[in-house]
């Protein structure tokens, strides 16, 4: 992220850097500090603040700017507070220092995904209030936990609660793809995250033997099918200058599991994938394609979803 130099730092940048220093990093995020941060910010901006504990230790913070016509549905501006883990050896600066260099570049985990958006919401509201604006519709800003690991202890629970329905949201904005430039892009559609785990079962035995129908052989076939699909989508993106990354389906192999010893052929092995399914894909047909790759690999190969988002959810 870029900003003005240290001698000209805008208060919103200072606020941004304060937020970046809060270690809401998975797998042990400091959500309490984030909630306190938004409580204090709400007080400074003269906004209502509601804390909804959707699960023990998981709080959704709602900041509200009331509109002049409470009968209208509201505007919902959502962002998540948690960030993904860091590997400090790959960073040029401490990822939680929010270091800003002489050109105004800020180095921190969450600077793009997505603490910058949270501060943009707050700064937009602050400026509009200072300028004396009032709007017919109420504006709610929700700051939710747990998004980086699926949202099961965050938004997934929040939308089932009466506090969410009481917001009466008629329009919502959330995160899109991080921008490598100073452009600010609004996305009206987004790829759907599918987290898929393929499990293969086969004949176990001693590793000194040539066993047939092993779990590894069958899993290898599925992995090859999925990676061939990945290459096809990559080539489609590279060959068409009109396509953007969000126009194709991406997939990455993120986890391999199996085995108990070097000399034992495992009875079960699994591979986990992160798919980002393009908006124009037929979800039912795509799921059937995944199932067909598993079936083609042989008996005992199954597929399960750790997370799947479709338009009819």
Report the CATH number at residue 235: 3.30.70.360
308 band by pLDDT with thresholds 50, 70 and 90? confident
Question: Which residue in 147, 174, 231, 299 is the catalytic one?
Answer: 147
Same-domain pairing of 142 and 258: no
Domain of 133 in residue numbering reads as 6-173
Answer yes or no: are the C-beta atoms of 126 and 153 closer than 8 Å.
no
152: annotated binding-site residue?
A: no
pLDDT digits (tens, 9 = 90+) for 154-206: 999 999 999 999 999 999 999 877 777 777 777 777 899 999 999 999 999 99
In the chain, the number of structural domains is 2
Question: Which residue in 7, 39, 82, 212 is the catalytic one?
Answer: 82
Same-domain pairing of 83 and 146: yes
- Does any domain span residue 183? no
Of 173, 208, 235, the position where a domain reaches its end is 173
Q: What pLDDT, on a 0 to 100 scale, did the predictor assign at position 313? A: 45
307 band by pLDDT with thresholds 50, 70 and 90? confident
Task: Evaluate if residue 6 carries a pLDDT over 60.
Answer: no
| Rounded Cα gap, residues 200 and 214, in angstroms | 9
CATH code of the domain in which 127 resides: 3.40.630.10
Same-domain pairing of 157 and 12: yes
Give Cβ neighbours of residue 173 (< 8 Å, ≥ 6 apart): 75, 76, 77, 78, 186
Same-domain pairing of 72 and 163: yes
147 is catalytic: yes
pLDDT digits (tens, 9 = 90+) for 63-114: 999 999 999 999 999 999 999 999 999 999 999 999 999 999 999 999 999 9
82 is catalytic: yes
pTM here? Answer: 0.66
Q: At CB < 8 A and 24+ separation, what contacts does 205-211 make?
A: 205/264, 205/265, 206/263, 206/264, 206/265, 207/262, 207/263, 207/264, 207/265, 208/263, 209/265, 211/265
Same-domain pairing of 24 and 94: yes
Same-domain pairing of 168 and 23: yes
Average pLDDT, the chain: 94
């Amino acid at each position: 992220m870029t900003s003005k130099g240290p001698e000209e730092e805008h208060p919103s940048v200072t606020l941004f850097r304060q937020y970046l220093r809060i270690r809401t990093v998975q797998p042990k995020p400091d959500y309490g500090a984030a909630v306190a941060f938004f409580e204090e910010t709400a007080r400074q901006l003269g906004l209502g603040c509601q804390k909804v504990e959707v699960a023990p230790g998981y709080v959704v913070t709602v900041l509200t700017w009331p509109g002049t016509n409470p009968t209208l549905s509201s505007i919902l501006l959502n962002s998540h507070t948690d960030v993904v883990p860091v590997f400090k050896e790959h960073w040029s600066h401490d990822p939680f220092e929010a270091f800003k260099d002489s050109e105004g570049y800020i180095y921190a985990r969450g600077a793009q995904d997505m603490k910058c958006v949270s501060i943009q919401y707050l700064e937009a509201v602050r400026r509009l209030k200072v300028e004396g604006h009032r709007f017919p519709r109420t504006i709610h800003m929700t700051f939710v936990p747990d998004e980086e690991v699926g949202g099961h202890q965050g938004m997934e629970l929040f939308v089932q609660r009466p506090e969410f329905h009481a917001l009466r949201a008629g329009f919502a904005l959330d995160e899109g793809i991080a921008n490598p430039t100073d452009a600010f892009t609004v996305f009206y559609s987004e790829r759907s995250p599918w987290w898929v785990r393929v499990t293969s079962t086969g004949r176990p035995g001693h590793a000194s033997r040539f066993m047939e129908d092993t779990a590894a052989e069958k899993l290898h076939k599925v992995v090859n099918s999925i990676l061939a699909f990945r290459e096809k989508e990559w080539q489609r993106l590279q060959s068409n200058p009109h396509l953007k990354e969000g126009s194709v389906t991406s997939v990455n192999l993120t986890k391999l599991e199996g085995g108990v010893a070097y000399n034992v052929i495992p009875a079960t092995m699994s591979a986990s994938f992160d798919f980002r399914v393009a908006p124009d894909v037929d979800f039912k047909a795509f799921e059937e394609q995944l199932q067909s790759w598993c079936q083609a690999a042989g008996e005992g190969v199954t597929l399960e979803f750790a997370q799947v988002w479709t338009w009819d959810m």
